[in-house]
Amino acid sequence: MSRRRKAVADSAPRVDTEGSAAGPPPATKPPPAAKPPSPSKAPAAAKALAAEKPAPEKSAANKAAAEKAAADKSAAEKPVAEPAAAGAAPAPRPARKRRNAALTRLEATIGYTFTDVSLAERALTHVSGLRGPRNPAGSYQRLEFLGDHVLGLVISDMLFRAFPRANEGELSRRLAELVRKDACADVARVLDLGAAIKLGGSEVRTGGRRRPTILADVCESLIGAVFLDGGYAAAAEFIERFWHERMITPVRPLRDAKTMLQEWAQGRGLPTPTYREVARTGPQHSPEFRVAVELPNRESAEGVGRSKRAAEQAAAAAMLEREGVKVEVGRGP
């Protein structure tokens, strides 16, 4: 090879086995600098950052759960009370209200035993028998109101079934006869309610246990107590037991003497008869009344009774008999 060709060969660049030219390594470019977020993308970045933070509600819930776990752990660490030793006396139970002897006898008489003894005791308590401040609600007054209406309902049902051919007027007269105070007082005497009534000292001394108005009121209050304690069926059974005979055989005629005298006077063009008290005798707890009945151009007639109503009936009957009018006499109490 000539010198010229050798010089050309030496000056030509060398090539590696992969075909790249050998020579100095190429210069590396620096990485591009991070660009600051544009103003339009800043709110989105802030929202993403806020989303990464825990919500305050979750933090509060975690705190409450931790406090509950601590409380449960503290309760579990408390010593458990040991069971009572064998043979130890049990804890005392609240004492049940006991029946007194008078109530026990009354329950046997009426054929009903109270579940709530306090109802029976209230039904038998006169306002004078209350201790401390006298609140009428603690006496028989409210039960009397209820019993009066229960009695009327039960008697109406009894009459409706017993007298299918009676008209409204006859049923009303029979009802009035069976629910009047005198009838209730008569039943109270049969039950000997006077012995079971709780009265104040002054009422006892003045004969309150025998007073018809008190006996009638207590009879109605007892019906109300039975109704509340045992329901309608118990009250109806009690009433039918002590009023059925009275319903079949009235104590007084359905048209009493006063009504008959008034009708007789009206039929003759006379005014309504007038009644006046003539005298009142006897002890305070059991008085006797004398009453006179008067009509124009007729001689007055008098009657005697243990109440003004009874004396008025007797006076009217006396005038009718004198005028020749027959008066039916009912079965006495």
Q: Which residue has the tokens 């933090």?
A: 59
Catalytic site residue from 144, 148, 177, 186: 148
63: number of CA atoms within 13 Å, CB side?
Answer: 6
Q: Which two tokens stand for residue 14?
A: 């060398």
Exposure string (b/e) for 83-122, b if CB count within 10 Å is 16 or more? eeeeeeeeeeeeeeeebeeebeebbeebebebeebebbbb
Strands (E), 165-287: 274-281
Burial class (CB in 10 A: 0-12, 13-18, 19+), 312: buried
Catalytic site residue from 121, 217, 220, 229: 220
**220 assigned to active site:** yes
Query: What gap in Å lies between CA 110 and CA 237, rounded to an integer?
Result: 10
| Helical (H) or strand (E) element with 203 | helix 201-205
Distances from the Cα of 273 to the Cα of 38, 175, 252, 329, angstroms: 116, 25, 21, 21
Nearest CA-CA partner of 320 in 301, 307, 306: 301
**148 assigned to active site:** yes
* Residues with active-site annotation: 148, 220
